[in-house]
Structure 1
Amino acid sequence: MGKGFYIGKAVGIVGIILCAGALATIIALSVVYSQEKTKSNNQVSPTAGGTTANPPVTPSPSNEPWDKYRLPKTLVPDHYNVTLWPRLTLNTTTGLYIFTGESSVEFKCAEETDLILIHSNKLNYTKLENDHLARLTSVNSGDKAPSIKYSWLQGVTQYLVLQLNGKLVKDHRYHLDTEFTGELADDLGGFYRSEYQEDGITKVVATTQMQPTDARKAFPCFDEPAMKAIFYITLIHNHGTVALSNGEVKESSNVTIEGHNVQKTTFEPTEKMSTYLLAFIVSDFAFINNTIDGVLIRIFAKKSAIAAGQGEYALNKTGPILKFFERYYNSRYPLPKSDQIALPDFNAGAMENWGLITYRETALLYDEKFSSNSNKQRIATIIAHELAHMWFGNLVTVKWWNDLWLNEGFASYVEYLGAHEAEPDWNVKDLIVLSDVHRVFAVDALASSHPLSSREEDIQKPAQISELFDAISYSKGASVLRMLSDFLTEEAFTEGLQTYLKRFAFGNAVYTDLWDHLQMAVIAHGINLPDTVKNIMNTWVLQMGFPVVTINTTTGVVSQEHFLLDPDSEVTAVSPFNYEWIVPIKWMKTGFIQEPQWLRSKSATIIEMKAPLTDWVLANLDVVGYYRVNYDQGNWNRLVDHLKNNHKLIPVINRAQLVDDAFNLARAKIIPTELALDTTKYLNQERDYMPWESALSNLDFFYLMFDRSEVYGPMQNYLRNQVTPLFDYYKNMTDDWSKVPDGHMDQYNQVNAISMACRTDLEECLLLSKTWFNQWRTTSENKIHPNLRSTVYCNAIAAGGAQEWEFAWTEFQNTTIAIEADKLRFSLACTKQPWLLNRYLEYTLIPGMIRKQDATSTIVYIANNVVGQSLAWDFVRARWSYIFTEYGGGSFSFSNLINGVTQRFSTEFELQQLEKFKAENSEIGFGSGTLAVDQSIERTISNIKWLTENKENVLNWFNTAL
């Protein structure tokens, strides 16, 4: 899955509304079922946990198989035949959209058993043979299947349970047939509904999102990644709509069903695959296509988007990226087609369904009139991420979700390689340091972090699985695999990867299987390592966190310790390696690259220092190692001096690293905060993007801590002084902002220059933003370049009032371009008017105003605004029960939400509020945000300490720095 982001009533009243709404839904579904099926009197409501034939009552807690979240090993699916009929029109009697379905699964009995458990969630079943919820028959000739004794739905563990009168025979095969109805809801999970406006008409798409545990919402299935099978999919749909699935269309014909003249589309069988990779979609979308080496590539989207050419960029780049991965994996693309579709409502960034990849519109569609340089890069990297999964994840799949990090971490690493193939002039591979390594350091430096690989027994419930889709799995996974590729060499890394994929094709593996194949490549290439691949990498995979490596340039001693943002925090998690790592160290001395070294213990003398005192040492070249670096004070002083005098002698990535390491080492009380601030003094000479982005990212923390205090004014004065030369540099480069810089990184840094200049109240910048925005508002012609729109809109709205906000809101409502809507949605949160921010917060819980997929990120945008911080926090607290119950874990990114609204917390009062929030909502729960609550508490405690210890010194530093 691609990296994603994402009413005015008292809580008591909301609770009543929720209960009434749930009851109304049950009643409405019952009415629909009676209309759709002639056997309505034989149905059971899944929401009520209905039973048939009085299944046995078990004590609570129970140790029965149906009370466990993992399937028993008794049954193994071979193939499914699934027919689904989504209704794309509203049933006016019930107010619901529904789908009906029939499923037949053939499975093999691996162990003798009298129990069938198959996953099912929110499906209502038609009773079949002998008044039961399913029909069981034998495939083996002359063999009769045992009859069903009891059948019922087990709600908590999400099973259809069938207890049999006799036992299934080992190695014999059986068919299980079911008929069912479900709601085509707008909950963004399973088989769901997406709506959009086109030509003044509301249109509906039936689409899917199965990962990780929602295939069971579409049809009964063995919904675990190791339960691979072949799927025969048939879709019933209205004439004028297009049906898509993982396989190619086998045939499509006109049929009459229940008096309806409809189209029946049957697809070729899939390859053997996991349920979470299934997809089926019915829409009236258009497409463009191309064929490369026999593989059909199609881009689907709304007709208006395709007509506007917004799919062309994705189509042009998919082929080269696909061919790159064929070379990288030394394996042909395993399917005859690669469909990619842009959906108006989609919770994640994208999803790697095999042969039918689904995307948010903003992650696939590009329009040069509206899309920025960063939008284009996002499209290229996400396409690369999803195409990487076609082999790594889809062809070879993890056995269980505890190894999710390997799947997502790998795709998050090689997405940069694929994007580089598509856009070689961008130098995009370097950006993994900012977007992934530095990003995840902030999370992994907390005592409440977690290892990459969890124990299988610790990941059981759907909520626990969902919680794994975090920065650790994606960004830390990418970072450590990049480190591994570097010290093995890319040649050995890819060779081991290729043999791994060949060995486990169409099957499942665990992460140590990859280590075994990489070890074989190491031996074949004669690579000298200090230990086996498995032993080296387990130190990075099986314990949370990362080390800070300290280099004493006066003695040559190199040491390591567990880096914690708050050194006083208590680490309760036990490490199998006592928080020591086997660390690869690439380093240079005064600009000259030295022989790489390994640190295998707490400390060792591994760097020779036979040099004059003016020499400086710089370690972790290009930040390929997943660790921070500290030095003795003398070396820090020499590095800071060198930045001021000849910064270009230090590689650009490492200039970004020095700033990021220094600020975070200061937060951890390892070096003085003044030393970290000293690394920014040279910035008035810096013109490269990566160091500036690193500095601004770290200074964001200073804004969060000080934008409500007396430090704010002096800080603004200093930073305005530092950014003004960069602002002037781009003003001159672009002929007074009349053109766009040529370079990819320069385009990014132009945005930084304007954004920071306006943020620090540089009058010329503020006037520029207001002028451009008002010209658009008064002439209805938007001449602001797409690269600059987010920052210009934001600053103009912040400087304006209701008039500017209402104009932007109207534009947001009227635009049909998703990426332009995203820019406006972000900018609307920049207003300084509390009443507008409160109104905007209310809109986030009204899907007609703000789509569900965007609710989380919109609230976080508002919380980023110093005026909106307390408003957003109060809003989330007051409505948590409603948010959690109504939106559900699948449609709200709770970890992002909780982290986002609490990131400014730095007082005892805010800490007490946060702890009270955790206690008061413990029964409701936090879903995928459970860990984020603890991380927010830990971060707040750290912020309080940091402010107490640093506020006065920081104020003095800014007062004297100019």
Structure 2
Amino acid sequence: MASDRDVLPDTVKPTNYNLKIFDIENGGSYNYHGCVMISLDLKKDTKEVVLNANQLEIKESSISVDGAEHRSATDSSLDSKKNRLTISFDSTLPAGKKAVLKVKFMGTINQLMAGFYRSRYKPTVPAAKSIARDEEYHYMFSTQFESCDARRAFPCFDEPNLKASFDFSIEIPEDQVALSNMPEKDVQPGKKEGTKKVSFEQTPIMSTYLLAWAVGDFEYIEGFTKRKYNGKPLPVRVYTTRGLKQNGQYALEHAPAVIDYFSEIFKIDYPLPKADLLAVHEFSHGAMENWGLVTYRATAVLFDEESSDQKYKNRIAYVVAHELAHQWFGNLVTMDWWSELWLNEGFATWVGWLATDHLHPDWDIWGQFVSESSSTAFGLDSIRNSHPIEVAVKDALEVDQIFDAISYLKGSSVIRMLSSHLGVETFLQGVSEYLKEHAYGNATTTDLWKALAKVSGLPVDELMDPWIRKIGFPVITVAEEPGQITIQQKRFLLTGDAKPEEDETTWWIPLRLQNGEKSESAALTTKEDTIRDVDDSFYKINKDTAGFFRTNYPPARLAKLGAARAKLSVADKVGLVGDAAALATSGDGTTAGFLALIEGFQDEASYHVWSQALAGLANIRQTFSEFEDISKGLKELALKLVTPAAEKLGWKFAPNEDFLTGQLRALLIAAAGLAGHVDIMVESSRQFEDFTINEKKEAIHPSLRSAVFRISITAGTEEEYAEVKKEYLNSASIDGKELALTCMGRVQTEDLGKDFLDFLFSDKVAVQDLHYGSSSLAGNAKMKRLQWEWIKANWEDKVYPRLSGNMVLLERYLRTALNKFASNEVQDDIEKFFEGKNCEGFDRGLGVAAGMNRSGAKYKERDVELVREWLGAHGYL
């Protein structure tokens, strides 16, 4: 037991759970009863058993040792703060014996999207008679146990390295369906009339957080793998509530192929006899990798060819792959403790994109990865309030806040960097060795490095240690001399002011130098070095942006690379633009250099490059939004930049048009319309009126709804806002609610802004979606300030009560609401407001907002006159 962890006593070890759930109330209190019999190995003499429980009522407890008659507990006490249940007995339980602990309990099916909970939805077809319902909604029941919420559903040893097998049964109405990790074993009549008891096959040994079950009016579509597992194809099903199963077809086209792909590259067959994917109507995360029963937010697994935005195809393909990767990396082999969460999430993110690239080579996945995953990780890791990839977690209850861009996206970015250096085949061979050695057990980061070192012959631990255990990442600054360059590494901060004590790390940096027509694989292992024989006509560091670092070129070289971008891959171009934007913010580069670079991108054809360029420009517009003349000039620049490409693509989607062309069209139409392109605004208004007033749902292509809604609300009045609100309330489209909320925050008046915030916190909006609304206010400085004032006024009555039941949701909302103010005044006010309040569970999110706001304020103060000067000199003012 690690001394730096607050964990359960090591006096006993669970080996099996026999868990029965019964007497579920389908309404009213939503209580249920349960009985769990836990087989234990007694490791030390003890008179008590300590395990985890949270918000459960313990009815009675007893224990038997070596098959003797059960003896009742003399006492049981629950420490609600630590979620520890202590069960005491009148005589010693002797070490070396086997015991069975029996606990009868009662719990509640909550609405917190944690533990055993209920999700509301509006039925589209007649439902089973027994379904829980109220006047407006029907309900399904499911579980979400990661990281520490199995204890909300039943008493258990809720730590990742206390693995055991599970036998599970549940009593449900006869006309409903029950699902769990394993296939059904048996169905018998229940104790109550009209019920049935569904029992499931025993699971392999696994962590408590991976146990899952669900109950509802479910139906499914089924497919099979091409490979055979234990002599036959593996059944793969997508489950939904009744009336939606046809929308699981796209996910079903991917899941069997992904399972086969991972079985091949890991050289280990998928370990379970079935693979189920379940759409859950209310879900705090994107998906959860429960072994054999993966649960998903609806928009991450369901797609309607007639009404869904095409961008969700990309999301579904990736999320399905990410969660199925966990069936091996996370489920078969689990991190030893939550401090190594990145082992699960960083790897699943990288290999999820690897599988997506395998199935969709035309999507240019690694350009997207740099534009989205690496870019987001860079943003969070470039503030002082970041944290190392492997971060100390003393108490498991702290872990939710590190399910963030560092664990997922920086983790996956450094894995991509290492795999590029070792070679993907060599890397995957090491992963296979790691999985085989630790199958059905737990492992550490060091264990993975050992396996990779064995197959590569390189000191992987030594190379990667700073990347995993140190905070931040480097920027390489390039100085040129004829025929050679000098490169220097230092820690990159958005504020551009790393102190000596913050810059003590020397990273191993694989340079992947493109030198003329040659590619070279040198590495920087010191603070400074010189590279000779460099082709002055063309060179680029960090080929394909495979390394997790920024590169700061001299201004003339940056301009030359922009002019020579035909020689660069999409990932290279995305990295070049992203670096220039970040270096402008930090002061290592210049805003003028970034604006001049993207000004030459009018003829760019890549969606991912455009996405990165417009994101960089949007950040500048947001930073300087309080200056009316600069805002006007940047809007003119945006309009000039996107007009040729937007007009060339037009509004119409051609039959069999490739995916990325469609995504680029949506991006450019939105950008042009919001920048004031008259013809696009007029056409947008026409389509919006047809769609809303005339109720012609075919008037707007599904992939252009977001663009048309945003343009219409931004340029419109209360009428346009009201129509999009109506769309949120009544949309039959799977993605309709998410899309509407991301547009409604484009309102321009204080009255509509207040109405939107009141609406967001009404019972009409699911709490899982609040952050979509919050982030949609980010583009308008006035609306962001309004939201902050609203939060202060409504913190005690609305914000905290609505979200504090699930701190993941509260922290996510505050990260989006309080971020990117570019104002020390507002940040001072935020800190003053939260001073003295209990911020446990969202303090890290406040720290991230502080870092972003302080760096933005410094950037604004430093560059305001320089930006104004550049815009004037280039005819935009």
By the TM > 0.5 criterion, same fold? yes
- Distance of aligned partners of 1:838 and 1:585 in 2 relative to their CA distance in 1, 3 Å threshold: same
Q: 1:628 aligns with which of 550, 553, 570?
A: 550
C-alpha displacement of 1:163: 2.7
Q: 2:241 aligns with which of 302, 309, 313?
A: 302
Please say if residues 574 and 609 of structure 2, whose CA atoms lie closer than 8 Å, have aligned partners that are also in contact.
yes
* Equivalent-residue separation in structure 1 for 2:576 and 2:196 (angstroms): 62
C-alpha displacement of 1:838: 1.3
Is the partner of 1:679 in helix, strand or coil? helix
Is the partner of 2:520 in helix, strand or coil? coil
* Equivalent-residue separation in structure 1 for 2:845 and 2:354 (angstroms): 31
**Aligned: 1:250 with 2:185:** yes
Please say if residues 820 and 849 of structure 2, whose CA atoms lie closer than 8 Å, have aligned partners that are also in contact.
no
Q: 1:925 aligns with which of 829, 836, 839?
A: 839
* Equivalent-residue separation in structure 1 for 2:224 and 2:479 (angstroms): 58
Please say if residues 899 and 936 of structure 1, whose CA atoms lie closer than 8 Å, have aligned partners that are also in contact.
yes
Is the partner of 2:735 in helix, strand or coil? helix
C-alpha displacement of 1:461: 4.5
**Aligned: 1:122 with 2:59:** no
* Equivalent-residue separation in structure 2 for 1:400 and 1:712 (angstroms): 48
Is the partner of 1:768 in helix, strand or coil? helix
Over residues 706-728 of structure 1, what are the superposed CA-to-partner deviations in whole Å (9 max), with x where a residue is unaligned? 22212111111122111111112
**Aligned: 1:823 with 2:739:** yes
Is the partner of 2:654 in helix, strand or coil? coil
State the one-letter code of the partner of 2:159: E
Q: Give the root-mean-square deviation of aligned CA atoms.
A: 2.1
Q: 1:169 aligns with which of 88, 94, 110?
A: 94
State the one-letter code of the partner of 1:625: G
C-alpha displacement of 1:605: 1.9
- Distance of aligned partners of 1:70 and 1:268 in 2 relative to their CA distance in 1, 3 Å threshold: same
- Distance of aligned partners of 1:424 and 1:671 in 2 relative to their CA distance in 1, 3 Å threshold: closer
- Counting only pairs closer than 5 Å after superposition, residues 157-556 of structure 1 correspond to structure 2 as 157-198=82-123, 199=125, 202-257=137-192, 260-292=193-225, 293=228, 294-306=233-245, 309-455=246-392, 458-462=393-397, 464-523=398-457, 529=458, 532-554=459-481, 555-556=484-485
State the one-letter code of the partner of 2:585: R
Is the partner of 2:693 in helix, strand or coil? helix
- Distance of aligned partners of 1:862 and 1:557 in 2 relative to their CA distance in 1, 3 Å threshold: closer
C-alpha displacement of 1:567: 2.5
Over residues 787-846 of structure 1, what are the superposed CA-to-partner deviations in whole Å (9 max), with x where a residue is unaligned? 111111111122222222222222221223331222122222222232222122122223
Match in the other structure for 1:43: none
Q: 1:674 aligns with which of 592, 610, 635?
A: 592
670-679 vs 486-495, which moves further:
670-679
State the one-letter code of the partner of 2:831: E
C-alpha displacement of 1:430: 2.9
**Aligned: 1:890 with 2:806:** yes
Match in the other structure for 2:31: 98
Match in the other structure for 2:643: 724
Q: 2:512 aligns with which of 581, 586, 590?
A: 586
C-alpha displacement of 1:364: 0.3
Is the partner of 1:955 in helix, strand or coil? helix
Is the partner of 1:227 in helix, strand or coil? coil
Over residues 597-636 of structure 1, what are the superposed CA-to-partner deviations in whole Å (9 max), with x where a residue is unaligned? 0111111223433x5x5x13210010110101112x3xx3
C-alpha displacement of 1:319: 0.8
C-alpha displacement of 1:647: 2.9
- Distance of aligned partners of 1:86 and 1:513 in 2 relative to their CA distance in 1, 3 Å threshold: farther
C-alpha displacement of 1:687: 2.2
Please say if residues 856 and 892 of structure 1, whose CA atoms lie closer than 8 Å, have aligned partners that are also in contact.
no
State the one-letter code of the partner of 1:272: I
Match in the other structure for 1:742: 657
- Counting only pairs closer than 5 Å after superposition, residues 114-153 of structure 1 correspond to structure 2 as 114-126=47-59, 128=60, 134-138=61-65, 140-141=66-67, 148-153=73-78
Over residues 322-347 of structure 1, what are the superposed CA-to-partner deviations in whole Å (9 max), with x where a residue is unaligned? 10000111111000100101011111
Is the partner of 1:454 in helix, strand or coil? coil
* Equivalent-residue separation in structure 1 for 2:500 and 2:49 (angstroms): 43
Select the structure with the greater relative contact order (CA < 8 A; seq sep ≥ 6). 1
* Equivalent-residue separation in structure 1 for 2:694 and 2:93 (angstroms): 75
C-alpha displacement of 1:681: 1.9
C-alpha displacement of 1:650: 2.5
Match in the other structure for 1:83: 20
Match in the other structure for 1:50: none
Please say if residues 803 and 810 of structure 2, whose CA atoms lie closer than 8 Å, have aligned partners that are also in contact.
no
* Equivalent-residue separation in structure 2 for 1:459 and 1:765 (angstroms): 55
- Distance of aligned partners of 1:422 and 1:594 in 2 relative to their CA distance in 1, 3 Å threshold: closer
C-alpha displacement of 1:181: 1.1
* Equivalent-residue separation in structure 2 for 1:948 and 1:688 (angstroms): 33
Match in the other structure for 1:696: 614
In the alignment of these two chains, the number of paired residues is 852
State the one-letter code of the partner of 1:624: A
- Distance of aligned partners of 1:844 and 1:571 in 2 relative to their CA distance in 1, 3 Å threshold: farther
Please say if residues 88 and 204 of structure 1, whose CA atoms lie closer than 8 Å, have aligned partners that are also in contact.
no
Match in the other structure for 2:580: 662
C-alpha displacement of 1:570: 5.9
* Equivalent-residue separation in structure 2 for 1:566 and 1:889 (angstroms): 35
Please say if residues 706 and 743 of structure 2, whose CA atoms lie closer than 8 Å, have aligned partners that are also in contact.
yes
State the one-letter code of the partner of 1:391: W
Please say if residues 371 and 609 of structure 2, whose CA atoms lie closer than 8 Å, have aligned partners that are also in contact.
no
Is the partner of 1:223 in helix, strand or coil? coil
Match in the other structure for 2:130: none
* Equivalent-residue separation in structure 2 for 1:701 and 1:595 (angstroms): 34
* Equivalent-residue separation in structure 2 for 1:357 and 1:638 (angstroms): 48
C-alpha displacement of 1:496: 0.8
Please say if residues 88 and 205 of structure 1, whose CA atoms lie closer than 8 Å, have aligned partners that are also in contact.
no
C-alpha displacement of 1:737: 2.7
Please say if residues 805 and 831 of structure 1, whose CA atoms lie closer than 8 Å, have aligned partners that are also in contact.
yes
Is the partner of 1:893 in helix, strand or coil? helix
Match in the other structure for 1:790: 706
- Distance of aligned partners of 1:511 and 1:589 in 2 relative to their CA distance in 1, 3 Å threshold: same
Identity rate, percent: 29
* Equivalent-residue separation in structure 2 for 1:424 and 1:651 (angstroms): 14
- Counting only pairs closer than 5 Å after superposition, residues 21-100 of structure 1 correspond to structure 2 as 69-85=6-22, 87=24, 89-91=26-28, 96-100=29-33
- Counting only pairs closer than 5 Å after superposition, residues 838-877 of structure 1 correspond to structure 2 as 838-847=754-763, 849-877=764-792
* Equivalent-residue separation in structure 2 for 1:106 and 1:549 (angstroms): 56
Please say if residues 145 and 168 of structure 1, whose CA atoms lie closer than 8 Å, have aligned partners that are also in contact.
no
* Equivalent-residue separation in structure 2 for 1:68 and 1:489 (angstroms): 36
* Equivalent-residue separation in structure 2 for 1:825 and 1:521 (angstroms): 49
**Aligned: 1:911 with 2:805:** no
Over residues 633-674 of structure 1, what are the superposed CA-to-partner deviations in whole Å (9 max), with x where a residue is unaligned? 3xx314414524x43123222122111111211221112321
Please say if residues 385 and 847 of structure 2, whose CA atoms lie closer than 8 Å, have aligned partners that are also in contact.
yes
- Distance of aligned partners of 1:607 and 1:689 in 2 relative to their CA distance in 1, 3 Å threshold: farther
Please say if residues 616 and 639 of structure 1, whose CA atoms lie closer than 8 Å, have aligned partners that are also in contact.
no
* Equivalent-residue separation in structure 2 for 1:565 and 1:520 (angstroms): 38
Is the partner of 1:391 in helix, strand or coil? coil
Over residues 716-752 of structure 1, what are the superposed CA-to-partner deviations in whole Å (9 max), with x where a residue is unaligned? 1122111111112212xxxx53637823222221122
**Aligned: 1:651 with 2:651:** no
193-202 vs 552-561, which moves further:
193-202
* Equivalent-residue separation in structure 1 for 2:23 and 2:789 (angstroms): 40
Please say if residues 405 and 477 of structure 1, whose CA atoms lie closer than 8 Å, have aligned partners that are also in contact.
yes
* Equivalent-residue separation in structure 2 for 1:720 and 1:597 (angstroms): 42
Is the partner of 1:447 in helix, strand or coil? coil
